[in-house]
Amino acid sequence: MKTQIAIVGAGPAGLLLGHLLRAEGIDAVIVERASADYVLGRIRAGVLERTTTRLLDRLGLGARMHAEGLPHDGFHLTDGERLIRIDIAALTGRQVVVYGQTELTRDLMEAAPGRGLHIIYEAADVALFDVDSDAPYLTYSKGGRSHRIDAAFICGCDGFHGPSRKAMPAAVAASFEKLYPFGWLGILSDVPPCNHELIYANHERGFALASMRSATRSRYYVQVPLNEKLDNWPDDRIWDELAIRLGPETAAQMTRGPALEKSIAPLRSFVFEPMRHGRLMLAGDSAHIVPPTGAKGLNLAASDVHYLSEALIRHFRHGDSDAIAGYSKKALARIWKSERFSWQLTRLMHRFPDNDAFDRRMQLADLDYIASSVAAQTVIAENYVGLPL
């Protein structure tokens, strides 16, 4: 098969990129290792920046997000005693929208056939070749046969564990990583949220987050040790721990219910440079990972795709390849600032095993300062709503 753009991965990055290119009449094919149901079964991000919602609107695919998504004017930090509200609307003039990554992915998948975006699911053993030539190609196996796709460019949107980053020559590559000594245990339950806005808690016993997917479906997280086992956390223990860490005022508003989904995600900060080599470009988690504390992961994938799609459109429309040459530098500038925010908020809101009493006092003083300073709240707010493109 021949196409203009071969995309590896049908997560948010690959789907958004494919749609943006198709909207400009550029041929694109996505090869995805899993089935559509498997991709939709992964419970991940929940908060969309305006960068991301505007891409959906530009594609004319934002109707369900506007109908079912929850616009939020603020969120809360707490030390387990008082709520500190960060009024993002008043401080930045912007909102965020709570709309699950699963729903965004569903909207993009369902629109693909009608817009000529060909997605090949259950494509196994994807391998990339000749990425530093002007005729790259990839192979995959499906139905007991090997297949080949020749393309002008290959875009690696295959997440942290995909093959694309590994296809970058080691001689040009540099990666930066920080592993956190804890994970997030997430629970999804069909109960009304405890607050109409998100609450991030740093309690003596550890981090917790009260989030949501709708007015009737809640998403909560508790920080757990890295080697923790899900079996050690029956639902009641999770609800008890959330009530303690979120504080009595919030606990009084919590509704308990059975877990529809329960999982533990490790936390890491990771950046791979460069994001382009020859005719291979990376976007989204294939090039970077943030701890979910700042709700940046999905939104960074969207901003990468914004830059990358513009560069490819200029190449195919106007024969101008300067933006392709400048893609990596431009995307990394925003990525590193979001890595900074996510790392800083993670350090502020979590209990690190090697934290001592002084470190705890520093966290509480930080929260006390944020509670009393519009300037400090503005810094947090402008990062949370998403930095300018």
- Residues binding ligand PHB (CB under 6 A): 45-47, 198, 211, 219, 292-293, 295
Percent helix, percent strand, percent coil in the chain, to nearest 5? 40, 30, 30
Q: How far is the CB of 343 from ligand PHB (least distance, A)?
A: 13
- Calpha distance 270→303 (Å, rounded): 17
Residue placing its CB nearer to ligand PHB in the complex, 164 or 346: 346
User: Quick check: 49 binds ligand FAS (CB under 6 A)?
Assistant: no
Residue placing its CB nearer to ligand FAS in the complex, 72 or 296: 296
Q: Which segment (7-15, 78-86, 241-249, 273-281) binds ligand FAS by CB under 6 A?
A: 7-15
Residue placing its CB nearer to ligand PHB in the complex, 195 or 293: 293
User: Quick check: 126 binds ligand FAS (CB under 6 A)?
Assistant: yes
Residue placing its CB nearer to ligand FAS in the complex, 62 or 292: 292
For this structure, is 277 an active site residue? no
Catalytically annotated residue among 220, 292, 307, 350: 292
Instruction: Pick the binder of ligand FAS from 208, 222, 295, 312 (CB under 6 A).
Output: 295
Q: Which segments of the chain are extended strands (E)?
A: 2-8, 28-31, 47-48, 70-72, 75-78, 83-86, 96-98, 118-120, 124-129, 137-142, 145-156, 174-189, 199-203, 206-212, 218-225, 261-273, 276-277, 280-282, 288-289
For 15-50, the DSSP string reads HHHHHHHHTTT--EEEE-SS-HHHHHH-----EE-H
- Calpha distance 154→4 (Å, rounded): 9
For this structure, is 200 an active site residue? yes
* DSSP assignment letter at 170: G
| Partner whose binding site includes residue 2, from ligand FAS, ligand PHB, none (CB under 5 to 8 Å by kind) | none
Q: How far is the CB of 175 from ligand PHB (least distance, A)?
A: 24
For this structure, is 72 an active site residue? yes
Q: What is the largest CA-CA distance in the chain?
A: 64
Residue placing its CB nearer to ligand FAS in the complex, 337 or 361: 337
Q: Which segment (30-38, 107-115, 172-180, 375-383) binds ligand FAS by CB under 6 A?
A: 30-38
Helix axes 101-111, 50-58, angle to 10 degrees: 20
Catalytically annotated residue among 200, 220, 221, 307: 200
User: Quick check: 303 binds ligand FAS (CB under 6 A)?
Assistant: no
Residue 163, CA distances (Å) to 125, 130, 155 in order: 9, 14, 11
- Calpha distance 69→47 (Å, rounded): 10
Closest CA to 160 of 287, 271, 278: 287
| Partner whose binding site includes residue 293, from ligand PHB, ligand FAS, none (CB under 5 to 8 Å by kind) | ligand PHB
For this structure, is 220 an active site residue? no
| Partner whose binding site includes residue 284, from ligand FAS, ligand PHB, none (CB under 5 to 8 Å by kind) | ligand FAS
For this structure, is 306 an active site residue? no
Which positions are catalytic? 72, 200, 292, 296, 384
